[in-house]
A and B are shown apart, each in its own frame.
Chain A
Amino acid sequence: MRNYIDFEKPIEEIERKIDELKQLKGYGDKKVIEEIEVLEKEAKERSRQIIENLTPWQQCLLARHPDRPYTLDYIKAITEEFIELHGDRRFSDDPAIVGGLCRIDGIPAMLIGHQKGRGTKERIQRNFGQPHPEGYRKALRIMKLAERFHIPIVTLIDTPGAFPGVGSEERGQSEAIATNLMEMSLLKTPIVSIVIGEGGSGGALALTVADRLFMLQYSIYSVISPEGCAAILLKNDKPLTQEDFAKAANSLKLTAQHLQNYGITDDIIEEPQGGAHRNVEETARNIKRFILSSFEELHGIDPFVLVEKRYKKLRAIGVFLE
């Protein structure tokens, strides 16, 4: 079953018709096949129109689409082999972050990503992709392992944010994130980060200090969610509306295109017609191409030079008068 979000409804109607026609006894009939072809063309055209006119808020919703491929979907599509590693060796194993050794086109790599979970049960188990400190500590542990064996690191970013809870505060959510930011900047092995869905604030950033940063075309990356932003600015006001969120999303300039314009990302990875969820294989192929070309560019660079370059890039970010 496909899920459709609000602005995809016109496509849903057409695709439902197509499904009905396919169920018909007369399927195989020349006329019916022709009709299906016409409808499929229309669905394609409609989804093109919708995508071309997406507002930033709609792009947030698309980035959170329940059918959007997650880290594990890409791992399946991109790697020939994946051996998952578990636990931070201190407290627990956080299912909101997955990671492990893999091969991409034969090249060993350490692949780490947020995992939201599909379906209610798995979503709850994975805490909707919102990590606790142990998730960040697991990620750092296996990144350091990668460093020791000169294995490149790939991180896939897709989280609403680090989890705001009692346990996460007690176990040092801030410290875990800060430490990852600091340690990742020093890792002597190439790091490639790709925002595949939601880049939710510090919880996303904590896996995103990299030599190459890419964003999928309809992903977002923001200091705060539009809902959070609207809640702060409209504190004590009436219940927040979609319109408030849309305005906040506009203000925050959080789309891949904005970040590319600001020079934060290195490139945008194209998504198929209608978004990544309409064709997982094609999206995965595009991602894989970017990973492999980054590996090639970063391969053989002296680790000290690599770290120096990574730092210089970060050091230069900021806009101010002096």
Chain B
Amino acid sequence: MGWFKKTTKDSLEEKKVKIPEGLWVKCPSCKEIIYRKEFDKNLKVCPKCNYHFRIGANERIHLTVDGGSFIELCPGLSPVDPLEFEDTMSYEERITSNQEKTRLKDAMSIGIATINKLPVVIAVMDFSFMGGSMGSVVGEKVVRAVEASFETNYPLIIFTSSGGARMQEGIFSLMQMAKVSAAIGRLKEIAVAYISVLTDPTFGGVSASFAMLGDIIIAEPKSLIGFAGARVIQQTIKQQLPEDFQQAEFLLKKGLIDMVVHRREMKMRISNILKMFGFCPLKK
């Protein structure tokens, strides 16, 4: 049983971005108070500063694919505790409480769907499940999504949102980075496009594996994206960081991503790219 006393990173970060229930929502980026109805209509984007709030996997799928077209693949994949990891609570308890809270089995959902009638394989991460961390389940789901693309020749679209590797799964989570990257390597040998969409935040083991391997890499405005967290970097170099450091626009400027796209335009942009690569709607 637990030896760590304090709250964990996950619960702290959730607090930071949690959207309060009720009529009003506060933007964590510019602190603007937004009327909820307006906020929802604006796809959970701050009308003042354009901060794109984190949204769950189901909501993301709903926003991105054609209504009713999503068929989930391997919904049953569920995490276990191979290390018997000790923490403030056991990893097993943490899994259970996150599953109850999010009604998800783990931090990623995958499936087949259509986007403006184009069939795709889509994988979406959910930050609210243990900070979107990648353990064996996320790693396996990425590979299964790649395999589905390989078999169907449907393009692969992955939306990332993750703090990095899931340390509670130790070396197994680290190895997922190699496993998913190797799987994507096989996709690169055929003409099936992989579009990686980075949303706030995308860090560590997810950033340093499938997220940065997209044929096309898109990011939502102001998303924080990087290898190491700003706090760790600051502690290491003990210097002031550039103001837009690790924001999507910073990555665009540095040549690390192809484009920054507003949530409202995302679906259309993805389907337009796919059409130019020659992907077509399914024939009836």
Report which A residues bind B (CB closer than 8 A).
Answer: 162-166, 168-175, 177-179, 181-183, 185-186, 201-202, 205-206, 208-209, 221-224, 228-229, 232-237, 247, 250-254, 258-259, 262, 264, 310-311, 314-315, 317-322
Minimum C-beta distance from B134 to chain A (A): 10
Q: A202-B208, A236-B6, A250-B86 are in contact. Are A322 and B171 (CB under 8 A)?
A: no
Interface centre among B88, B179, B182 (most CB of A within 10 A): B182
Evaluate contact between B181 and A202: CB separation under 8 angstroms: no
CA distance A318 to B171 in the complex (A): 10
Evaluate contact between A168 and B171: CB separation under 8 angstroms: no
Interface centre among B77, B83, B175, B184 (most CB of A within 10 A): B175
Evaluate contact between A166 and B212: CB separation under 8 angstroms: no
Evaluate contact between B171 and A314: CB separation under 8 angstroms: no
- Known pairs A174-B226, A181-B181, A321-B77. 13 more at Cβ < 8 A? A164-B232, A168-B228, A178-B209, A178-B211, A182-B185, A183-B185, A185-B178, A201-B205, A202-B165, A205-B177, A221-B174, A233-B9, A262-B172
**Beta-carbon contacts under 8 Å, B173-224 to A:** 173-179, 181-186, 188, 204-205, 207-213
Minimum C-beta distance from A63 to chain B (A): 15
Evaluate contact between B228 and A223: CB separation under 8 angstroms: no
B136 closest partner in A (C-beta): A318
B228 CB contact (under 8 Å) in A173, A247, A319: A173
Report which B residues bind A (CB closer than 8 A).
Answer: 3-9, 12, 74, 76-80, 82-83, 85-88, 136-137, 139-140, 143, 165, 167, 169-179, 181-186, 188, 204-205, 207-213, 226-229, 232-233, 236-237, 239, 241-242, 245-246, 254-256
In the complex, chain B residues whose CB is within 8 Å of the CB of A186 = 182, 185
Evaluate contact between B87 and A233: CB separation under 8 angstroms: yes
Q: A175-B256, A251-B87, A318-B172 are in contact. Are A182 and B237 (CB under 8 A)?
A: no
Evaluate contact between B82 and A262: CB separation under 8 angstroms: yes
9 contacts between A and B (CB under 8 A): A166-B239, A169-B246, A202-B227, A222-B171, A223-B170, A234-B4, A252-B170, A318-B176, A320-B137
CA distance A249 to B84 in the complex (A): 13
Evaluate contact between B6 and A322: CB separation under 8 angstroms: no
Evaluate contact between A174 and B236: CB separation under 8 angstroms: no
Minimum C-beta distance from A285 to chain B (A): 28
B134 closest partner in A (C-beta): A223
A230 closest partner in B (C-beta): B4
- Total cross-chain contacts (CB, 8 A): 207
B174 closest partner in A (C-beta): A223
In the complex, chain A residues whose CB is within 8 Å of the CB of B245 = 166, 169
Evaluate contact between B204 and A254: CB separation under 8 angstroms: no
B6 CB contact (under 8 Å) in A171, A209, A235: A235
Minimum C-beta distance from B58 to chain A (A): 21
In the complex, chain B residues whose CB is within 8 Å of the CB of A171 = 254
Evaluate contact between A165 and B237: CB separation under 8 angstroms: yes
CA distance A164 to B231 in the complex (A): 10
Interface centre among B79, B174, B256 (most CB of A within 10 A): B174
CA distance A165 to B140 in the complex (A): 31
CA distance A166 to B43 in the complex (A): 32
CA distance A19 to B86 in the complex (A): 45
Evaluate contact between A232 and B167: CB separation under 8 angstroms: yes
Evaluate contact between B86 and A223: CB separation under 8 angstroms: no
CA distance A158 to B25 in the complex (A): 48
B83 closest partner in A (C-beta): A253
In the complex, chain A residues whose CB is within 8 Å of the CB of B86 = 247, 250-251
In the complex, chain B residues whose CB is within 8 Å of the CB of A183 = 185
Minimum C-beta distance from A306 to chain B (A): 13
Evaluate contact between B211 and A222: CB separation under 8 angstroms: no
Q: A175-B212, A185-B185, A233-B8 are in contact. Are A317 and B167 (CB under 8 A)?
A: no
Evaluate contact between A174 and B165: CB separation under 8 angstroms: no
Q: A223-B174, A233-B4, A321-B78 are in contact. Are A178 and B241 (CB under 8 A)?
A: no
B170 CB contact (under 8 Å) in A172, A178, A185, A253: A253
Evaluate contact between A221 and B208: CB separation under 8 angstroms: no
Q: A319-B172, A321-B80 are in contact. Are A166 and B237 (CB under 8 A)?
A: yes
In the complex, chain A residues whose CB is within 8 Å of the CB of B6 = 233-237
B207 closest partner in A (C-beta): A174
CA distance A259 to B83 in the complex (A): 11
Q: A174-B212, A250-B86, A253-B171 are in contact. Are A223 and B165 (CB under 8 A)?
A: yes
Evaluate contact between B136 and A247: CB separation under 8 angstroms: no
In the complex, chain A residues whose CB is within 8 Å of the CB of B182 = 181-182, 185-186, 209, 310-311, 314-315
In the complex, chain B residues whose CB is within 8 Å of the CB of A252 = 83, 167, 170
B213 closest partner in A (C-beta): A178
CA distance A163 to B207 in the complex (A): 15
Interface centre among A169, A173, A315, A320 (most CB of B within 10 A): A320
Evaluate contact between A174 and B208: CB separation under 8 angstroms: yes
Minimum C-beta distance from A127 to chain B (A): 11
In the complex, chain A residues whose CB is within 8 Å of the CB of B237 = 164-166
Evaluate contact between A320 and B80: CB separation under 8 angstroms: yes
Evaluate contact between A169 and B226: CB separation under 8 angstroms: yes
B5 CB contact (under 8 Å) in A177, A234, A314: A234
